Structure 1
Amino acid sequence: MTKTWFITGTSSGFGRIMTEKLLARGDRVAATLRKRQALAELEAQYGDRLWVVTLDVTDDRAVHAAVDTAFEQMGRIDVVVSNAGYGLFGASEEVSDAQIRHQIDTNLIGSIQVIRAALPHLRRQGGGRILQVASEGGQIAYPNFSLYHATKWGIEGFIEAVAQEVAPFGIDITIAEPGPAGTDFGAGLVKPPQMDIYEDTPAGQVRRAIADGSFKILGDPVKMTDAMIAAAEKQPAPKRLALGSTTYQSIRKALNERLAELEAQKDITLSTDIDA
C-alpha cells in the first residue's frame, strides 16, 4: 500500500537516501530542506509525488507552517520523520555561546517542534507513526561531542515521555540510533578553534583518530535507512532501533556499566527514602 511520508533534512545523508528509496518504490514524500535546489532532480523525476518546501527547523513558526501545509497538501501523512540535524565538534569550553544555542535550536528544539506540530494532525486522522532519527550518541558519549550529545540525550528523554502521552491516540514513536556511518555527517561538523591544552587528553585522541582515519566507520547508510523504513512500518512499533555494530557494542557496554553502578550503590539509594 502506498504511504505518505514527511521528512526533514532531505538534502543529504539519511534524509536524502530515505527520500530516494521511498519515491522509487512508489510512495509520496513531503520533503523539507534548507536549499531547495538539492532536490531539483528528484522533483523533475517524480512530479507531484514529491512535495518540497524550504525549511530551517530553528524557525518555530516556519516549522509549524510547513507541517500544517504538508498535511493540507498531501492529505493523510502516515509517517513523520524528524531527521534534520548536524554535529558541533569541540571540547565544551572551546565552543562559543552562539554555537551552543544553534546546536540546541537545531537538533533538540527543532526536533521537538516538528513533533509538536505534527501531533494535532496525527490525532485528527486517527493515528500515525513518528520516526525520530537520533544517534548512538543519545545513549553513549564521545569527547568533543558534548553539545551534540546534549541534544541527542535530550530528544530521547522527550520522546520517552511523549510516546506515553500520545499512545492512546494511535500514535507510535520510534527512536533510530545509527552509529558512525558512511554519510557526509563528518564533512558537516562545525569545528571551533582548538585549544592546545586538550591535545594530550581524550578529546585530542578523538580528534587525531578522526583525522587519521583510525576512527573506523563501519555503518552502511543504505542498510541503516532500509532498517529505519522497515521499523516505521513494523507493528508493534519498536521504541528504539540501534543501527550498526559499533552502536551495539557501545550501547551494550554503557548500559552494563550503568546497571553495575546502580547495583553497587543500592544500599545507599534505598536508604534515602523517608523513614516509615
Structure 2
Amino acid sequence: MTASPRVWLVTGSSTGIGRALVTELLARGESVAATARDPRTLADLRPSGAGTLWTARLDVTDPERIRQVVDAAARALGRLDVVVSNAGYALVGAAEEASGEQVDRQIRTNLTGPIHLARAVLPYLRAQGGGRIVQVSSMAGQRGSPGTAVYCATKWGVEGFFESLAAEVKGFGIGVTIVEPGTVSTGFFGRSKELTTASPGYAGTPAAILRRRAQDGRLPCRGDLAKMAAAVVDVATGPTAPLRLALGSDAYASIRRGLTARLADLEDQRELAFSTDLNAGDGSTPSTPHRRPEGNDDAHHRPGARQPR
C-alpha cells in the first residue's frame, strides 16, 4: 500500500460497518471519499490530521451514477488506493412472500451494484499499478438460512464474482478481499433491512419466526462495529491480505459449519461423481488431488507476484 494518507472510497457510509469504517479511517488521518444515498447523513463526520473527507450522493442501483461518482472522487482526491464496496441491505422473510420489486431491488443493490462499482474503479487501479477492492459480504455468503433466501442469493453471487475477479486482476497488482461479518448491532437487523409481507401459509415456519424477531429487534448481535472496522483497515493495509476475512465468532462458527457440511456432502458423492466421467468403468482408479483450485489465491500468496499498493 502507499504511505499514509491513502485514498479510500467507501460506499454505504451512512450506517453500520460503512460508517464505522469512515470514522476509523478519518481517525487515522486517511483520505476518504464517503458515499451515501443521502449525503446529509455524513455531515457530522470530521477528518483528523492530514486526512480529507469528500462526500457524494450515490445509489448503487444506478450504474451511470456509480461511474460519475468514481470519476469525481478520483479527480478530487488524486487517486484511489482502496475501494470498499459496502452498500447493501437485508430482505427478511420467506422467498415466496417477497414481491417481484423487492427481489429485483435486493439484487440490484447487493449484487449488480458491487459489480458495476468494481468495473468502474478497475481502470484507475490498473493505470496506477495496484490497489485493493474490499467487498463486504456476510456470513450468509457462505451458508444459507431460512428467511434470508434472496439476501443469501445476492451474497453468494458476490462471493463468486469477487473470487473470480481476484484471479483476473492479480497480475495488475490489484488485490481483492471479501469481508464476511457476523451480526452487528446496526447492520443486518438494524435500519438496513426490509421485511416481506407475512403470508398465513408460512405462519410458524423458521422464515416467519426470523422475520418477526427481526421486526421486533429481538435477535442478539455479537459484533462490535468499531473492532470490525479496525480489523478491515488493518488487513487491507497490511503486507498480506486474505481473499476472505471472517469477522465475529458467530461468523466463524456459521461459516465453519456450512463448509464442513458441504465438504461432507461432496465426499459422500465422490464415487458417483467419478462414475459419470467419459472413461468411467475403464478400470482406472480415480484420483483426488489435494490442491487449491486455480484462481483462488491472492497475489500476496504467490512468490514473485506484484504486491497491491
Shift of 1:212: 6.2
Deviates more, 1:201-210 or 1:251-260: 201-210
Q: Which residue of 2 aligns with 1:144?
A: 147
Aligned counterpart for 1:263 among listed residues 244, 264, 267: 267
Q: Which residue of 1 aligns with 2:24?
A: 21
- Per-residue CA deviations over 1:124-152 (Å, capped at 9, x if unaligned) read 00100111011001001221111111110
Residue type of the partner of 2:220? K
Residue type of the partner of 1:231? V
Shift of 1:42: 2.1
Q: Which residue of 2 aligns with 1:68?
A: 71
Q: Which residue of 1 aligns with 2:35?
A: 32
Secondary structure of 1:253's partner? helix
- Per-residue CA deviations over 1:28-67 (Å, capped at 9, x if unaligned) read 1011111111111226988981111101110000001111
**Distance in 1, Cα, partners of 2:50 & 2:96:** 48
Q: Which residue of 2 aligns with 1:167?
A: 170
Residue type of the partner of 1:215? L
Unaligned runs of 5+ in 2: 283-309
**Distance in 2, Cα, partners of 1:5 & 1:40:** 18
Aligned counterpart for 2:192 among listed residues 182, 185, 188: 188
* Higher helix content, 1 or 2: 1
Please say if 1:153 is aligned against 2:156.
yes
**Distance in 2, Cα, partners of 1:210 & 1:266:** 40
Q: Which residue of 2 aligns with 1:84?
A: 87
Shift of 1:193: 1.2
Q: Which residue of 2 aligns with 1:99?
A: 102
C-alpha distance 30-213 of structure 1, shift in aligned 2 (>3 A): closer
Q: How does 1:109-258 map to 2 (within 5 A)?
A: 109-186=112-189, 187-210=191-214, 215-258=219-262
**Distance in 1, Cα, partners of 2:47 & 2:162:** 36
**Distance in 2, Cα, partners of 1:123 & 1:272:** 42
Shift of 1:21: 1.3
Residue type of the partner of 1:204? A
**Distance in 1, Cα, partners of 2:235 & 2:211:** 33
Unaligned runs of 5+ in 1: none
Q: Which residue of 1 aligns with 2:294?
A: none
Shift of 1:197: 1.5
Residue type of the partner of 1:180? T
Deviates more, 1:43-52 or 1:247-256: 43-52
The structure that has the greater radius of gyration is 2
Residue type of the partner of 1:95? A
**Distance in 2, Cα, partners of 1:106 & 1:155:** 11
Q: After TM superposition, which residue ranges in structure 1, 4 or more long, deviate above 6 angstroms?
A: 44-48
Secondary structure of 2:143's partner? coil
Secondary structure of 2:66's partner? helix
**Distance in 2, Cα, partners of 1:175 & 1:66:** 22
Secondary structure of 1:42's partner? coil
Paired residues, number = 276
Deviates more, 1:189-198 or 1:109-118: 189-198
**Distance in 2, Cα, partners of 1:116 & 1:77:** 14
C-alpha distance 243-184 of structure 1, shift in aligned 2 (>3 A): closer
Contact 2:29-2:47 at 8 Å conserved across structures: no
Identity %: 48
Deviates more, 1:46-55 or 1:232-241: 46-55
TM-score by length of 1: 0.95
**Distance in 2, Cα, partners of 1:58 & 1:247:** 27
TM-score by length of 2: 0.85
